[in-house]
């Protein structure tokens, strides 16, 4: 089994207001994650998704309206 460090935070644009803000990725949460986090600017809830890329060498992180 290979282990790799996950990024602890990265910038994502809010799907509601478009503001870019850091989003935390839980290093112990596994490669597949989904959680709700409020935008720090507009306070709308957004769903954050984390999953491995097709190559398996990187993580894909995106958010959508909840």
Query: Over the stretch 9-21, which tens digit does the pLDDT of each residue have?
Result: 889 999 999 999 9
Confidence of residue 5 (pLDDT cuts 50, 70, 90): low
What residue spans define the domains of the chain?
Answer: 9-65
**CA gap 18, 41 in Å, rounded:** 10
Read off the pTM: 0.76
Quote the pLDDT of residue 39: 95
């Amino acid at each position: 089994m290979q282990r790799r460090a996950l990024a602890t935070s990265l910038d994502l644009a809010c799907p509601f207001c478009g503001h870019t803000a850091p989003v935390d990725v839980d290093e112990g949460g596994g490669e597949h994650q989904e959680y709700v986090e409020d935008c720090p600017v507009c306070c709308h809830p957004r769903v954050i998704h984390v999953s491995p890329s097709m190559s398996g060498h990187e993580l894909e992180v995106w958010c959508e309206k909840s």
